[in-house]
Amino acid sequence: MQTTNERAEIAELTKKEMLDLLFLKARTHHAWLDRPVPDELLKDAYDLARMGPTSANDNPMRLVFIKSKEAKKRLKPALSPGNIDQTMSAPVTAIIAYDMAFYEHLPRLFPHTDAKSWYVGQPEATFITAFRNGTLQGAYYLLACRALGLDIGPMSGFDNDMVDKEFFTSSTYKSNWLCNIGYGDPSKLHPRGPRFDFSEIAKII
C-alpha cells in the first residue's frame, strides 16, 4: 500500500509532467513526422477546449481542419512562402476562425438574460467580442492538443481574405490564425528563444 508521502510524490510527478507537456518542454514545430492524426483526437481536443471560459459563454470559435490533398491545394495559395513547406507536410492544419453572428446562439448558450441584444446592430462590439473570445478559444485548443500528446505550429503568415473567400464565402465566419497539428520532428527544432522575466513585463500594484 502506498504511503501518503508516496502518493504526494506521484501526484507531484504527474503535475510536473503535465507542466512539461503544456509549457516547459513544449515547442512550436515546423517539421513533421509522417504520422497521421486521427479525427477522433481532433474532436477530443475540442471537447476539452470548449470548457474554457468566454464572455457570456459566447463560444465564437469555429474550426476547419485541412487534411486532404485537395483541401491543402486550396489553402496553399494563401500561405506566405515561408509557411508553405511546413503546412503542406503537416498532417492537419486547423483554420481557427470566429463567427461574426455568434450572438444568434446566445439565447441557447447564455439564457439568463437577453445577451443577444448587446450585439444586434452593434458591429464594433460584435467584432471585438468575436475576435477576442475566438482567439482565447484558439489558445485553449492549442493547449488541449498538447495535453493529448499532439504537437502544434501556430502561425499568422497567410492572407486572411484569400482564406475567407476560399473556405467561408457563404458564412459569417472570419479566419483568425492557422495552426499546424501533428507529431513534430524534434531533430528539426531550433534552440528555444528567450522569454521576458516577470519583473520586465509585470507590476503588482
pLDDT at 12: 75
**pLDDT above 90 (res 10):** no
Whether the CA torsion 24, 16, 182, 31 is positive or negative: it is positive
| pLDDT above 70 as % of the chain | 96
Q: Each residue of 144-153: b (16+ CB within 10 Å) or e?
A: bbbbeebbbb
- The candidate with the shortest Cα–Cα distance to 180, out of 68, 31, 71, is 31
**pLDDT above 90 (res 137):** yes
Cα distances from 70 to residues 73, 76, 88, 149, 171, in angstroms, run 5, 10, 11, 27, 21
Distance between CA atoms of residues 138 and 19, nearest Å: 19
| pLDDT above 90 as % of the chain | 93
pLDDT at 6: 63
Quick one: average pLDDT of 68-77?
A: 98
Tens digits of residue pLDDT in 77-105: 999 999 999 999 999 999 999 999 999 99
- Provide the whole-model pTM: 0.92
Contact status, residue 63 vs residue 141, Cβ threshold 8 Å:
yes
Quick one: average pLDDT of 16-26?
A: 94
Distance between CA atoms of residues 133 and 176, nearest Å: 11
**pLDDT above 70 (res 152):** yes
Quick one: average pLDDT of 47-65?
A: 98
Quick one: average pLDDT of 35-40?
A: 97
pLDDT at 1: 54
**pLDDT above 70 (res 3):** no
Quick one: average pLDDT of 52-70?
A: 98
